[in-house]
Amino acid sequence: MNVSAQDAAAELRALAESGRLIAEYPRAGGLVDRLTGPELDRAGRLLARLDPGEIAREHPALPSVTVGVTGHGTLAPLIPALAAQFARHGLVLRPVPTDFGNYVFDLLDPGSELHRARPGLVLCVLDPNVVFDEVPVPWRPDDVRRAAAGRVELIERLAARFDEAGRGTLVLNTMPLPRRYAAQLVDHRSRAALGVAWREANTRLLRIAEHHPSVVVLDLDPIVAEGVQVADDRLSVYAKMHLTGDLLAAYAADVGHLARQLTGRTKKCLVLDLDGTLWGGVLGDDGVEGIEIGDGRRGEAFLAFQRVVKQLGAQGVLLAVVSKNERALVDQALREHPRMALGEPDFVRIVANWQPKHDNIARLAENLGLAPDSFVFVDDSAFERELVRREHPGVAVVDLDADPAWHVRALLRDGWFDAREVTADDRARTRRYRDEAARLSFLDGFASTKDYLRELGIHVRIEPVTEADAARVSQLTLRTNQFNLTGHRLQPRDVLELTGDTSALPLAVRAGDRFGDHGLVGAVLARRDGDLLRIDNFLLSCRVFSRSIEESCLNWLLRHARDTGAAAVLGTYRATPKNRRVADFYPRNGFAPVGPGGDTATYRHGLADIAPPPAHIRLQTPEGDPA
């Protein structure tokens, strides 16, 4: 059933009034997803009153994120806005607000309340008064330039200190320039000079993230360009609230996207309908020549949407089609229509038949080796959207209306595929998934999996993680859920620290076969502890499951430990909602349990009896010789 925003708001209020909001927190998140404007604000205030500890106890599978909030002005609307956004994404917000105007002390003093909370995210909210409170009266553009340069220099020092502390992610933002400052200059030449000075300061802010891996800088200019008011003069003067609630709400939405990415909840695959979504008309009725794409006003809108989809696909987002259509006709349209921006090579899979779409999505997930909750589903049919919502609650469903001009806005609204950095592995992802289809076809020619693996020609290279690998290894920890033995998430800075730690042994796993190169598909994060070698985490991309790559790497690590004088290897498994399939990884490979086990279990291998490595894999070792 299609739940309207009015119905969702009423149900949310009923949950709060009955005292069931904590018990129904995941359901509440789905209701909040339907809300905008004042109703979203009210929902945030309801959710901000809840005890995050009680939510976490009631729903232990939901990730909790401690968020420090500091800044120059008062930020009263920000916590409720964050509470709403975190609920939408299935996260539990643990806010740590600090006194306004205290951001320098909060960030510099290691004993501050903010640092003591050990937040995963620290929001240092900057507003125009950060600069203008330092500007004399009367002032000229050069005065603003000097004040802005001094403030940015201070913020650069704060970012460097935060980076050195090695705790969490610091979020900064650019400072919007309200018209009331430019309007105080009566000549256009001075206004232009002020604009230059302000943009120079914001450019320096944006570049802080280039030098400090623990820093993210959110650019508020695109939000302001959408017509969001920057400041309310009364609140700015009387309450020291220098950014409006609307702007803080939009900022909170971007923080929600970031928190989702940091907790491994970034989506991986964009699943698209065709008729009414990628083109106008009905392919089966109108034929290839009759669909709307590229010509006329609606056709141009559909083409613009396709170009945005193609842009996302070029950055590692997997594109797939699930459509009620004839497959041959779909292939013809993608191949032959002269204005089509998307073609068959852009998609990892095209599913066109008359089966229920939620069933096709389940089969698509199985075929790609992905969980359905890594999908974003886009369809112009409200019936299909609600059916998918009901059958696959973890799938993000994008609501489209009948006007294709709004398709782009709807798709990009939630930053489902946001990442800290796009790597070379990301850009090659679609090709690699298409190669996997060739592997599956190759498998059909063999009577046994053993024969198939032997002929596949798998080669694996295991070697120390380098600085150039840090972004990709971090991404594996953030996005890999099924073969992630502890579920620990690392930022690029954390990986870089491992590369400089003499007791650590961070290893990158690369793989390929006769059909192509998989790239960097796994990581083993180990460290030496006296005469023990401890495996802190082991990760492997779902693209290369069931090929014994993990056994090959573990076998090499065991032999390496024995040959370098270790008495034993210890491995840790920590259960998460998605890694149960590898709970027996260590026992299956000759490790014995140490202690009682439970959700976090430690296993030990005494190195006296190491099984032979998988015969069908050619392993290249750090020393450069095949193992």
Q: pTM here? A: 0.81
Going 620 to 624 to 626 to 627, the CA torsion angle's sign is negative
**Residue 138: is the preceding peptide bond cis (ω within 30°)?**
yes
Is the pLDDT confidence value at 97 over 80?
yes
Tell me the CA distances in angstroms from 197 to 131, 143, 149, 153, 187, one per residue in order. 11, 10, 9, 14, 16
- Minimal CA–CA distance to 375: which of 358, 389, 396? 396
Which residue's structure tokens are 């420090």?
68
355 CB contacts (<8 Å, ≥6 apart)? none
In contact, 481 and 428? CB cutoff 8 Å: no
Tell me what the mean pLDDT of segment 177-186 comes to.
95
513 neighbors 575 (Cβ within 8 angstroms): no
Query: What average pLDDT does the chain have?
Result: 91
Q: What is the mean pLDDT of residues 147-173?
A: 91
The span from the CA of 22 to the CA of 445, in Å, is 53
What gap in Å lies between CA 559 and CA 334, rounded to an integer? 52
Q: How far is CA 75 from CA 129, 242, 249, in A?
A: 14, 9, 11
pLDDT (tens digit per residue) in 34-79:
898 999 999 999 999 999 999 999 999 899 999 999 999 999 999 9
Q: Range with the lowest mean pLDDT among 194-208, 325-339, 349-363, 452-466?
A: 452-466
Per-residue pLDDT for 1 more than 50? no
What number is the average pLDDT over the span 451-467? Answer: 88
Residue ranges covered by each domain of the chain: 1-61, 63-262, 269-412, 442-620
pLDDT in tens, 503-557: 999 999 999 888 888 889 999 999 999 999 999 999 998 878 778 899 999 999 9
Calculate the CA dihedral of residues 586, 588, 589, 592 and round it to 10 degrees.
Answer: 60
Query: Can you spell out the DSSP letters for 211-268?
Result: H-TTEEEE--HHHHHTT-----HHHHHHH---S-HHHHHHHHHHHHHHHHHHTT----
Question: Identity (one letter) of the amino acid at 275?
Answer: D
Residue 382: closest CA among 396, 352, 402: 402
Measured CA to CA, the distance from residue 314 to residue 316 in angstroms comes to: 6
CA 506 to chain centre: 23
| Residue 546: other Cβ atoms inside 10 A | 10
The CATH class of the 63-262 domain is alpha beta
> Per DSSP, what are the bridge partners of residue 535?
526, 571
- CATH class of the domain whose range is 442-620: alpha beta
pLDDT tens-place string over residues 333-383: 999 999 999 999 999 999 999 999 999 999 999 888 888 999 999 999 999
Three-class SS state of 457:
coil
How many residues in the chain?
627
Per-residue pLDDT at 2 exceeds 60: no
Domains 63-262 and 442-620 share a fold: no
Residue 312 has pLDDT above 80, yes or no: yes
Q: How many angstroms separate the CA atoms of 358 and 364, rounded?
A: 10
CATH number for the domain formed by residue range(s) 269-412: 3.40.50.1000
Residue type, 251: Y
